[in-house]
Amino acid sequence: MSSANDIEALVAAVTAEVMGRLNAARGALARRAFAFLLPLPGRALPRLLSAATELARRGNDVDILTAPQAEAALRKTGLAAAGSLQPLEAAAAERLMRGLESREVFVLGSASLSLLRRLAEREDDDPCVRLLLSARLRGCPVLMVCDDVEGEGPLGREAAERVRELTGLGMTAISSAGLETALRRLEAQPGTAARELGGLLTESDVERLFAAGERKLRLSRRTAVTPLARSRAAELGLILEREED
């Protein structure tokens, strides 16, 4: 074989290897990151824990934030909590805000009427309110499980009105019976553009993620971004945000 043929064969082999790795990386989107907020025990607690467990089993990151009453009820059920369990309290609000910036989907697991009021009135001295409003400002989906506020009479009507107000802010009211379906739908949507080691963000990735509703892509430190991808993101107004060291 001539040297020219040797070089051509070597180039072909290297190209095939590189393309194989890039194609593998392209399909390796990061796991989705979920946060469950449990300010009260609520009737939906068993279903919430089941849903969180299933998400974790499928490889997602799951945080469960509980107020003291909810944590006590959680322990009484004897059900193991999937993912990390953290306190949901005013003293920890700032730390929680920083620690949950990478969460992509928030689930309010026990929506009481008083909490709906505080959310609708933006009372952000409440850590739960602060976390959910911050999530919406970042464009994260927020699911509100409303089993505990369904009812008739003046209180039921007020709860329904508050839910409508919060729906206007982009939060989604669901029952615990529909939680698993809603979570699977969100899990299947394109997430951020964070890739595994050796990942690559291309122009077509940017267009696909933008079309899916993404407006900010959080990139891992090792994600390579092509010039065309960066240019296209700027044209679309899509923010590329690099993870900190």
**Residues forming a β-bridge with 160:** none
pLDDT, position 26: 41
pLDDT, position 82: 55
Q: Where are the alpha helices (DSSP H) in the chain?
A: 3-26, 45-57, 68-77, 93-99, 113-120, 127-137, 153-168, 179-188, 203-211, 227-236
The closest alpha carbon to 45, from 155, 118, 135, 147, belongs to: 147
At 211, list the tokens: 């079309």
Low-confidence ranges of the chain (pLDDT < 50): 1, 22-30, 192-198, 245
Distance between CA atoms of residues 150 and 178, nearest Å: 15
Topology of the domain covering 33-188 = Rossmann fold (3.40.50)
Q: What is the pTM of this model?
A: 0.66
The closest alpha carbon to 81, from 93, 73, 89, belongs to: 73
User: From the centroid of its chain, how far is CA 66?
Assistant: 18
Where on the phi/psi map is residue 180: left (φ > 0), alpha (ψ -120 to 50), or beta? alpha
For the chain, the domains span 33-188, 190-245
